């Protein structure tokens, strides 16, 4: 990882889509602070397309796409994207058909409850009832943080049951299906903007902090970790190209300031 300050101005100038994780990338200790929200607004006002890409539930994403200055949102680690329909209302683009999603959700519920009964301290995430597709087990949000070995046990148990499992800064998320944050980002770019992900690489940037950002760090040429990514770097197959000085939303604001300065 190179310091963000070393990112070439020419590369910054070409970026017009910012994809970013939310938890501990836009937030600090769970809070969206003024500096990070101001950076979102400044980027949107400058004509940049913002797309938060999160493990958070559909219920949160409905609010985010309606209330924040963003072009779209991808939630539940790629289970869907939400965006505004020019005809009015929202376009909710789910990766899986409703019946498949509901069936998978029921299978995951049984697996997750069995895991919580087996792994001491693990609990169903408090935002589970707002989810449409995946299942989340809390390891550090509303409970005392579990040691890494317990988190690894939760991930292994989901995988043994045939599910995908990945950790964010607070939850282990599990899902059935051949999607992730990256697959749905590619689909959103194609369907909403008519763009091919590979062809427009220089126009894209991604910011994240945790192992569930790994597919994005690998695929985006302009990949940036906020400073707190360092605590997960050993768990990443490929670290981001650049790293900010500030943690969470401070790091995000640092990137936006650099980008806007390069454009002016």
Binding stretches for Mg ion (CB under 5 A): 21, 23-24, 168-169, 209-210
Residue 213 CB, shortest distance to Mg ion, in Å, is: 7
Residue closest to 55 by CA, chosen among 145, 152, 150, 133:
133
Task: State which residue has the least CB distance to Mg ion.
Answer: 23
Residue 22 CB, shortest distance to Mg ion, in Å, is: 7
CA 153 to CA 76: how far, in whole Å? 21
CA 169 to CA 138: how far, in whole Å? 10
Strand partners, 174: 135, 165
Residue 58 CB, shortest distance to Mg ion, in Å, is: 18
Structure tokens at 237: 């197959």
CA 40 to CA 84: how far, in whole Å? 18
Residue 111 or 250 having the CB closest to Mg ion: 250
Residue 101 or 239 having the CB closest to Mg ion: 239
Residue closest to 62 by CA, chosen among 50, 75, 79, 49:
75
Q: Pairing state of beta strands 135-138 and 171-175?
A: antiparallel
Residue 214 CB, shortest distance to Mg ion, in Å, is: 11
Residue 57 or 104 having the CB closest to Mg ion: 57
Residue 28 CB, shortest distance to Mg ion, in Å, is: 11
Structure tokens at 165: 């499992």
Residue 27 or 222 having the CB closest to Mg ion: 27
Tokens 């760090």 identify what position? Answer: 217
Residue 210 CB, shortest distance to Mg ion, in Å, is: 4
Residue 36 or 111 having the CB closest to Mg ion: 36
Q: Pairing state of beta strands 80-84 and 72-75?
A: antiparallel
Residue 101 or 251 having the CB closest to Mg ion: 251
Residue 111 or 205 having the CB closest to Mg ion: 205
CA 242, 245, 246: angle at the middle one, nearest 5?
120
Residue 196 CB, shortest distance to Mg ion, in Å, is: 27
Length of the chain equals 264
């Amino acid at each position: 990882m190179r310091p963000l300050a070393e990112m070439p101005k020419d590369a910054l100038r070409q970026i017009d889509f910012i994809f970013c994780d939310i938890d501990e990338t836009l937030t600090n200790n769970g809070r969206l602070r003024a500096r990070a929200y101001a950076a979102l607004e400044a980027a949107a006002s400058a004509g940049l397309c913002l797309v938060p890409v999160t493990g958070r539930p559909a219920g949160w994403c409905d609010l985010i796409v309606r209330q924040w200055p963003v072009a779209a949102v991808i939630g539940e680690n790629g289970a869907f994207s939400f965006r505004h329909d020019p005809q009015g209302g929202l376009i909710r683009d789910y990766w899986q058909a409703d019946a498949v999603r509901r069936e998978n959700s029921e299978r995951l519920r049984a697996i997750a409850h069995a895991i919580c009964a087996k792994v001491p301290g693990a609990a169903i995430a408090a935002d589970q009832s707002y989810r449409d597709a995946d299942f989340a087990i809390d390891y550090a949000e509303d409970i005392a943080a579990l040691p890494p070995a317990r988190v690894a046990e939760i991930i292994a148990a989901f995988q043994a049951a045939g599910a995908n499992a990945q950790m964010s800064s607070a939850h282990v998320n599990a899902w059935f299906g051949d999607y992730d944050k990256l697959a749905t980002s590619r689909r959103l770019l194609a369907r909403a903007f008519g763009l091919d992900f590979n062809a427009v690489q220089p126009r894209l940037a991604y910011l994240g902090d945790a192992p569930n950002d790994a597919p994005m760090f690998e695929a985006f040429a302009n990949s940036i970790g906020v400073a707190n990514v360092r605590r997960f770097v050993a768990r990443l197959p490929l670290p981001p190209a650049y790293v900010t000085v500030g943690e969470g939303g401070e790091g995000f604001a640092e990137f936006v300031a650099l980008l806007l300065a390069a454009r002016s």
